[in-house]
Amino acid sequence: MTLTLTPQDHAMLNGEFGEATQMALRILTTMATVYGATELLDIESAHIDGCLYHGQSGLDFAERLVAGGAQVRVPTTLNVGAIDLVHPEQFLGSADLAQRSTQLMHAYQQMGCAPIWTCTPYQAMHRPAFGSQIAWAESNAIVFANSVLGARTNRYGDFIDICAALTGRAPAVGLHLTAQRRGQLVFHLSGIRPDLLHEDVFFAVLGYFIGAHSQNQIPVIVGLPADTTEDQLKALGAAAASSGAVALFHAVGVTPEAPTLADALQHQPASAEHAVTMADIRATLDKLATVPDGRIGVVALGSPHFSLAEFEQLLPLVEQYPPHPSVDFIVCTNRLALGALQKRGWLDRLKAVNVRLVVDTCVVVMPVVRQRGTLMTNSGKFAHYTPGNIGLEVIFGSLEECVRSGAQGDVWRNKTLWSST
């Protein structure tokens, strides 16, 4: 297949828009050829994951772009970095790592990216419209944009994300195309206890199950309540993108491309259909913990970053059950949510009960945890990445279970939550 370029593409490749843009489009066209694309398409926005420091090569690449005069051509937001720039004193790593992480974050700001430093740009600053073409990185942001907003992005990673932002272009393949967004694998929730379908914690577990069983297919979920909330869908997508490679799911009657099952499947037969049972959910729940219930030293919430609605649920709970002094209670969120908390007077109330707020980053990418005990979380994504990323054992539970466990320093359970009846 031959990649056809526009006159402006050729101008960028010829260096008429500067050295950085030339390098970015050269990389992008190479990747487009690898993907089998025959053309590039215009994008309306980008979300960048390359601002998270993983090593010197990422910093070298960003600084070379800056030296070449790089400026983004579309509205571009930034994913988490490796340091909380608002509260740098929380960083527990080396001074050298802090310096390099900060340098990298500043380099992306110099390119014109909006410094919101969050994995949830859709709840902080930018919500692309239904059907809009975008180039987003960060797994939970990708699956949310595709599934809940109905925008269109492939799974873009470090370096390709900023190349798309600098050129305003992306390969016209994959989830950018209508035919490639067809649901394939159907999950029926007819075997799930009806009241559990309204519990926030259920969605992370369901997402983890679906991600693990979808392989490279697009899942369709039948049976979610019509009033399923945005934060519940956020938790579902983040967990599915952690346990599998899910970049798009359809929920019939809930997400915009799935008013009916036939619409989600684009009026074609499903590749397979599965009934999700309570036994499946309980087995998945077991996989989200690495140790039996017992003592905990950390509670970590906010992956994806906590929304204002989630803080509204958290605040009365932690005021009723304040964290035990031996428990490091951490909530990750974005700067805009932090400002809203301060304006409402909620920030002082959270600090008064020793809840620690982290912005710009999160627990599994930044050395911030002060205790070495088992970490408890209500996040499927934190549960998945905590053992490998920061070396702590993990226990999963609902928001209430996390708060009440944090208050007593060992796990408290709602014994009726996962029962069969």
Mean pLDDT, the chain, rounded, equals 96
Domain ranges of the chain: 7-178, 182-287, 298-408
Predicted confidence at residue 409, as pLDDT, reads 97
> Which residues in the chain land under pLDDT 70?
1, 421
Distance linking the first and last C-alpha atoms of the chain: 56
Predicted confidence at residue 371, as pLDDT, reads 85
The answer to whether 84 and 102 are in contact (CB under 8 A) is: no
Structure tokens at 93: 């790593």
Rounded to 5 degrees, what angle do the CA atoms 65, 69, 71 make? Answer: 85
Type of residue at 158: D
**What dotted CATH number matches 298-408?**
3.30.499.10
Predicted confidence at residue 421, as pLDDT, reads 65
Predicted confidence at residue 126, as pLDDT, reads 83
Type of residue at 147: S
Query: H-helix or E-strand containing 200?
Result: helix 200-214
Query: H-helix or E-strand containing 24?
Result: helix 19-35
Type of residue at 340: A
Fold match, 7-178 / 298-408: yes
Q: How far is CA 411 from CA 181, 356, 378, in A?
A: 41, 20, 13
Rounded distance between C-alpha atoms, residue 414 and residue 51, angstroms: 40
Q: How far is CA 404 from CA 319, 389, 414, in A?
A: 11, 26, 10
Predicted confidence at residue 420, as pLDDT, reads 73
Q: Does 171 sit behind a cis peptide bond, omega within 30 degrees of 0 on the bond before it?
A: no
At a CB cut-off of 8 Å and minimum separation 6, what does 181 contact?
A: 146, 152, 175, 218, 248, 257, 266
**What dotted CATH number matches 7-178?**
3.30.499.10
| Residue pLDDT, tens place only, 238-272 | 999 999 999 999 999 999 999 999 999 999 999 99
Rounded distance between C-alpha atoms, residue 25 and residue 110, angstroms: 19
Beta bridge partners of 300: 330
Predicted confidence at residue 290, as pLDDT, reads 97
Predicted confidence at residue 157, as pLDDT, reads 86
